[in-house]
Amino acid sequence: MELFELPRVLTLQVKRFVYSEHKLAYEKMDHPVKFTKNLSIDDNLGKTAVYELFGVVHHSGSSEFGHYVAEVRDLE
């Protein structure tokens, strides 16, 4: 991904699937994503860029079906 100008609000969607040679299909990665307070993308840009995270959506189930649950941090 390349960003030439940083937006004030950044929304990311990360697809967490890996191709399985054994099953000849995509499988969902099952390790959890840590929800931290700040996201630093400095390494990808070469300049300081830190975003304050306030929410994340978790998916449980397979790549064909499942359930979504939102986790939102209280901003007060």
Per-residue pLDDT of the chain (76 residues; tens, 9 = 90+): 676 778 888 888 777 788 888 888 888 887 777 777 888 887 767 778 888 888 888 878 776 788 888 888 777 7
Residue 6 structure tokens: 């940083």
* Model pTM score: 0.56
Please check whether residue 39 is in contact with residue 54, taking contact to mean a CB–CB distance below 8 angstroms. Answer: no
